[in-house]
Structure formats: C-alpha cells, structure tokens
Structure 1
C-alpha cells in the first residue's frame, strides 16, 4: 500500500510513528543548534579569523554538494529507516571525536577533516528524511507535517542557542559540540522505535539496476525531472543564487556581534535563540498562508522581506536590533523553504523523490561553499555592513526576477 493511499482523515496528532519521529527530530535539531554556534566560536577562539570561519563553512558545504550527487540514489534504493539510523550513528561518532581530541590539545586540522565528512553524511540524512516524511504523513498532509516538524524544531532552536552560548562561555565550545553528538543518538533511537513499513512503502523500483540502464542515468533521473518541471526548474536556479548569498550569513552575524559589537559568547547564543523564534513562527504559519495566498505569492513575498531584512542587518547597531531582524529573516526563510520543499514532495513521483531531492540540493548548494568563503573574505576586508548590504540587494533582485517566471503561480501543484 502506498503511503499516499493512507486515509487523509487520519490526524497526524494520533499517528504514533509520526509523533515519535517528530519528537526525535526536534531533539536532534536542538542539539544541532549547539554546533551551529559552537563550531564558529571554536574557530574564532583558536584562530581569531572570520575568513577561517567562512572557509570551513565553505569546505563543509562542498562536501555536502559532493554527497548530494549520490544521496538520492541511496534514499531510493535502500531501506530509508536503516539509512537514517546509520547516518545518525556516524555523525555521533564524528562529532564526539572533536571534544575527545581537544582534551589533548587544540587541533584545528581535525575540524577540516571531521566537519566536511559530517556534512556529507548529513546530506544523505536530509535527502532520506525528506523522502521519509512523505511516507510517514502521506501526500495530502505533507505541508502540515513539514510545518509541525519545523515549528517544533525552531522552538527547540530557541532554547538551544541560548544554552549553547552559556555552555560555550563556561565550559568551552567543545562541550557544546559534545551535546550535539548526543542528539544524534536520540535521533537514531527515535527512528528505531518507528515501524519499518512506513519508510519502505514508497520504494517501488527494484534494488537491482534495470537491464541495459547505465548507472549514471540513475544519478541524473532526479535532475531530469527538475529540468522538465517549469516551476521546480526555475526555483532551483533562483535558490542556487540565494544560497550563494546566504549560506555564510550566520558566520557574519556572529562576527558582527563578537567583533563589531564586542559581545560575549552568551549574548551570541541569546541573539540566535531569539532569531529561532522567527523560524518557529514561519513554520507554524506556512500551511495556513499557503492555503490563503497560494504558492507563488507566498514564496516571492517571503523572499522580498528576506532581502530587506538582510539589508537591515547592515544598519542595525544594537544587539536587540540584530536579534529582531534575524527573527524576521529566519521567519521568511522558513516560509519560503517549507513552501518550496512541500511543492517538490507533492509533484514528484514517489520512486523519484530521493533522487529529485538529492538533485535539487546538489544544484542548490553548488554555489553555497564559494559564497560562504566569499562572505567571510568580504567581511574581513570590507566589514560586515558591506556584506549585508550586497547580500540583501542581491536577494531582492532574485525575488523581482521570480515575478516574471512560472514561480508566481498560485497552485502549480495542480498543473
């Protein structure tokens, strides 16, 4: 039985497997928020270089892009439940290596070895995760499921950055990284407690390659679907340039708070925690706003406000001003991101969902590593304000371009 055929009337609030998965992923995201702050702080504490922060983000992004080429095939060919658990266990071991090694001295080289590999495994997890959500929730409830997952993850992200700042300030960034490692164990346990059948129902192609079909055709199947679909094709191109200008944005915000405004680690955590309120608000509202406005107006509107928010970061001169703008920016990123991801899940054939997701993220993030490194270099050379202004203006331009494309449609899922 396909996941899509599950009765639509069944509430996600009464679905045991989805609720377990939901809780486990929320706890995992709370742990991730520790690493989001702790890793840049660790680099900044050891090297004092914002360029190094951007370079590490860029290298990790490049590893994600490389893994994305194969992640979709793995998600479509293998048991998604086992794949999710394996990814969590591997990341647990990788992140644990950092605080263990740091007890014997500072080893910056280890970060360049561990974090890109963790990012690559994380890409496989994320691609499989997107495919699994459709199986757990069903096509008709996928936007609602994404809204619930991202809203509570954002709620966990409010407390997470604050605690991460406190932990980093008192015990050091490596302690916060250790907490992130533990969160992967909780995620693996949650997936283990759900029924395996909820992950396998959408795998309709045989594990063995089709006779006469070349392996590289399997890798390109997702990209071919994206290119044939007018809305997904345009979204992929626009979002690739968007990630170029925004992947390293958190590093620049941290640099501004620490370098320009002279704030301690604990304040950095509080600011990003306040920003996570915006993610929670956007996630909670996306399903309702999608029904009210339709896909195109919601996506383009969120992108316009995102660009304005980034521009404003260059003008904000106080900690609370940065925090408020970050909340607005992350709310819009959440609205646009969940909106576009739900559309891909709705219009993609089940057996292609892993490869389409993989192809999208590989293309989407292909410019991100270069952008992250460029933002770090730009902040070091010209200052954070200049970087924010350029990035914000570029995002506004992308939103205006979208108005002249099929992305503006209200209901592309029905065409």
Structure 2
C-alpha cells in the first residue's frame, strides 16, 4: 500500500493516470451501451453488435503504421491531448448520426472516433515510462489492472444503467464529458521535454511517407533483435483472439442460452462478479509482483484463465457460469501485471512508441479477424459453446508456449542484453 501511495506523489503520474482512467471510462461505457442498443434494435441480427465491435478494432489496421511513429517523433503530451479533444467532437457527430438513424453514418463515425483514440495509448504509455522509475513500472501495471477491474465491475453496469435511464444519446453524452475531463488533465501536466520529445523536435511537415515507413520498420527490427520481445509478440497475437471473442461472447451466451428473458440484468451481475474477482486478483498480484518472477505470474495466469473460459462453455446454468467467470477474473491480472511490468523494463524509451505501434496492430489483426469470423459463422455454423472453447484454447496454447520460452529470460539478464545489444541500433 505504501508503494501505491508513494507513486501518486508524482503529480504528473497522478494526472496522467486519471486522464487515462476517464478516457477509458467513456469508451467502455459508450461501447457497452451501444452494443445493447443494437441488440435491442436488431434483436434477431447479432451481426450488428459484432459489427459495432469491429468498428473498435478495424481502425487499428488503418493507422497502425503511423501511431507509434508519431508517439516517438512528435510531442507525446499534445498527441494525447488532441486525441481527447477530437474524440469529444466526434461524440457530438455520433449523437447526430444516431438522430438521423442512418447506420452507415453511425458506423463511419464509430470507426473514425476509434481510429483517433488509437493514438492515445502509445503516447500515454511512452510518457509513463519517462515519468516513473523502473522499480515503479510493476506498481503502475498493477494500478492499471485495478482500474481495468473497476471498469469491469462498474463499466458494464454503469453503461447499461445509463442506457436504460437516458438512452443511447445519454451514454454518448457521458463519453463526451469523460473525454473533456481527460483533455483538461493532460493540459495541466508539466512534463519535461526529454519525456515528451525523446528524439528531438519534429514538425508535421517532417513526417513524410518515407520517414514513417522507415521508423515503422525500425520498430519491427528492434523487436526482431530481442528474443524476449519476439516471444511476447506471439502471445499478443493470440490475446487478440481472446479479446475479440470476449467482447461479444458473454452477451451472446446470456441472450441465446443462459438468460434469454433477462440477459441485460444478468450481464450486470456478471460484470459485478467478474470485476470483484479481477479486483481481488489485482490486489493479490500487485503484492506478489516483487516476490515471484514475472514469467511465472504470466504462465500461471494464462493456464488458469484459459481453463476457466473453456469451462464456461459447459456451464449448465447462470450460477455455474458466474463461478467460472470469477475464476477467470482471478487469473487475468497475473498476465496483465506481468506483461505491463516487463515491457517498460526492456524497451528503450526512444523506441517505446514504435514498439507499441508494432504490437497493437498484431493484436488487433487477430482481434478483427476473430470478430469477422464470429459475424460470418455465428450462430449458423458456430455455437456459442464453440466460441468459448476456441478462446480458452488460445490462452492455453499461449501458456504452453510461454512455459517453454519465458522462464529462461531473467529480468536482469534481459535488461543487460537489451541495453548493450540494441541501444546502438536505436534511430534518433
């Protein structure tokens, strides 16, 4: 607990943390409300709910080549700030599109807002790396995991409540407010120039196609020269499968199998169960972060959550499903805290944006393909149980792969080899 209190004495981190919190809150609540809006509006066509989720993942594939480059070449604080302001404006555009009730325009605005939002995370994480010390990375990862669990606990529930109370327009208006609050917090930060501009000052006119592709390629080359990063990349690809499936599977199994008459209420209860279990797991894992190897935490978490997701497929009733959901929630923090505490330690600060920019499209490619396959084959060719088996199996496969690869990478050895062997290859 003292470590958590100490890290918040860093005012820049406190503001950045709260900015990320509010920005994430808006997007999660809005996406949740919109999915239920589409499930109500097109009750017999789950394709639309899946398509809405695709509007979250597809934009990554449109902007992946430039996201990380901008985070490393331009002012990271301004990137995060402009993302929030533009997303706030697009919330107004989305409200107008919903009033017109023209689905192509609605999906187009959702796509654009998501594309703009993709620039926030690499800039945010790159600033965190400069604001905190290496010893604080795992603590920050634990805090981020706790925030994620709070969203799981209250995000879906609040999204559904707002949708019930004031409709989809009220949920989008809530999104707008959270983006504005996040922008104001980013504006109030006082970040050193070496953190905001680790590679020196650049102007937009300096960012041409040749430079973008050169820098993007440098990010992949940097990853290729690190065996640990290459091993982690494989996991991120399959994590995309998991994230894509879990974004729609709980709603589908509730609506079409376990609780067709009151699936919205049961989704709220599932959010509470899952959120509490992830929050408990986050607290436990944060305390264990300095006592066990990060590789061990990741592997245990993958096996535990993968088995739990697979068991969800055979749940005979809603209460058994909740038990397996809670077990899954206890395992996920081990993975997230392990990865979140490891990456900042092994990546050069000058390359963090490009590394994140390379990882994200790999993750989102599999995320998007998974959602596309679900939209095409569910429920005609794939049962909802099969979806859970596929996703649980993906986590189990990653667990097996990591079990044979990650333990040999000791943190201290990794830091030493990364600094000595790769630092000279970082383009400035």
TM-score w.r.t. length of structure 1: 0.88
Matched residue, 1:90:
86
Say whether the 8 Å CA contact 2:71–2:123 is kept in structure 1.
yes
Distance in 1 separating the partners of 2:4 and 2:386: 51
Q: Is the 8 A contact 2:23 2:179 kept in 1?
A: yes
Q: 2:69 matched to which residue of 1?
A: 73
Query: Quick check: 1:149 aligned with 2:144?
Result: yes
**3-state SS, counterpart of residue 367 of structure 1:** helix
* Number of equivalences: 405
Alignment of structure 1 residues 9-408 onto 2, 5 Å: 11-48=6-43, 49-104=45-100, 106-197=101-192, 200=195, 203-207=198-202, 215-260=212-257, 261-262=259-260, 263-381=262-380, 382-406=382-406
Post-superposition CA distance 1:126-182 (Å, at most 9, x none): 111111111222332122122223313432542232122122223323322321222
Deviation per residue, 1:214-238 (Å, 9 max, x gap): 5422111111111111111011012
CA distance in 2, matches of 1:21, 1:182: 17
Is residue 234–residue 407 contact of structure 1 (8 Å, CA) maintained in 2? no
State the distance in 2 between where 1:350 and 1:183 align: 29
User: Contact 1:64 / 1:123 at 8 angstroms: preserved in 2?
Assistant: yes
Once residues 71 and 102 of structure 2 are traced to their aligned partners in structure 1, the CA distance between those partners, rounded to angstroms, is: 34
Offset of residue 201 of structure 1: 5.2
CA contact (8 A) 1:60 1:116 kept: yes
Query: Pairwise CA RMSD of aligned residues?
Result: 2.7
Work out the CA distance in 2 between the residues paired with 1:96 and 1:199.
Answer: 35
2:190 alignment partner, SS class: coil
What's the CA shift string for 1:283-333, capped at 9, x where partnerless? 334343332220211111111112112112212243344344334324433
Superposed displacement of residue 64, structure 1? 1.3
Change (3 A) 1:304 1:269: same
Give TM-score scaled by structure 2 length.
0.86
Residue 253 of structure 1 aligns to a residue whose secondary structure is helix
Aligned with 1:389: secondary structure? helix
Structure 1 residues not aligned, in runs of 5+: 1-7
Q: CA deviation at 1:53?
A: 2.2
- Would the aligned equivalents of 2:66 and 2:216 in 1 still touch at CA under 8 Å? yes
